[in-house]
């Protein structure tokens, strides 16, 4: 089983969007039994909060359900539990390294690496208010990630 953890600053917009988009793509591919997918925050600011309502609406527009979600913070032991820890931007990646004590097994990556744009970050819609752009980036990154994982067997 491949275990993937998506990470953003607060775990209320980008990382839960990626979590539920990836779950939807995996389900549509008939691979549900092969994946465990979750999300977390690098900060403690929003712990326990649900998905931000505009992010929830954007998922619903595309027919993607998001079960009950409560934001949680990335923990050091998540590094051992997950095969991949995928950040949305470079600040997330720096904080992921700090929380986990480094990346000794090449598990930490940016989502847009899988869309062929390793320098691009998924913009935070809490600041940009552009949930359409975030949706496009998250979808493209998750599709690329799934393709990458299917190719690796």
- Which residue out of 24, 78, 89, 124 is catalytically annotated? 124
How confident is the model at residue 90, as a pLDDT? 97
**Eight-state DSSP code of residue 116:** T
Containing structural domain, residue 145: 2-152
Active site residue 8: yes
- Catalytic option among 8, 100, 126, 142: 8
Helices and strands of the chain, counted as H and E runs: 6, 4
Which pLDDT value is given to residue 153? Answer: 61
Please give the average per-residue pLDDT across 111-115, as a whole number: 97
Cα–Cα dist 115/149, whole Å: 13
Domain count, the chain: 1
Q: Of 13, 14, 66, 137, which one is the catalytic site residue?
A: 14
CATH of the domain at 51: 3.40.50.2300
Say what percent of the chain tops pLDDT 70.
99
Q: What angle do CA 52, 46, 122 make, to 5 degrees?
A: 60
As a whole number, the mean pLDDT across the chain is 96
In this structure, are residues 139 and 24 in contact, taking their beta carbons and an 8 Å threshold?
no
d(CA 42, CA 94): 10
Residue pLDDT, tens place only, 3-47? 999 999 999 999 999 999 999 999 999 999 999 999 999 999 999
Tokens standing for residue 85: 């820890």
> pTM score, two decimals?
0.97
Please give the Cα distance from 35 to 18 (Å, whole number): 14
């Amino acid at each position: 089983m491949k275990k993937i953890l998506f990470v953003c600053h607060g775990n209320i917009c980008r990382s839960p969007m990626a979590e539920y988009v990836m779950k939807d793509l995996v389900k549509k591919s008939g691979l549900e039994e092969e994946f465990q997918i979750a999300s977390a925050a690098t900060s403690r600011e929003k712990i326990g909060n649900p998905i931000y309502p505009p992010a929830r609406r954007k998922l619903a527009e595309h027919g993607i359900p998001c079960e009950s979600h409560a934001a949680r913070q990335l923990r050091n032991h998540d590094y051992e539990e997950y095969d991949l820890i995928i950040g949305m931007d470079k600040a997330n990646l720096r904080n992921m390294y700090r929380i986990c004590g480094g990346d000794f097994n090449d598990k930490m990556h940016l989502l847009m690496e899988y869309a062929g744009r390793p320098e691009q970050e998924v913009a935070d819609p809490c600041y940009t208010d552009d949930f359409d752009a975030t949706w496009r980036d998250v979808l493209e990154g998750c599709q690329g990630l799934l393709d990458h994982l299917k190719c690796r067997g």
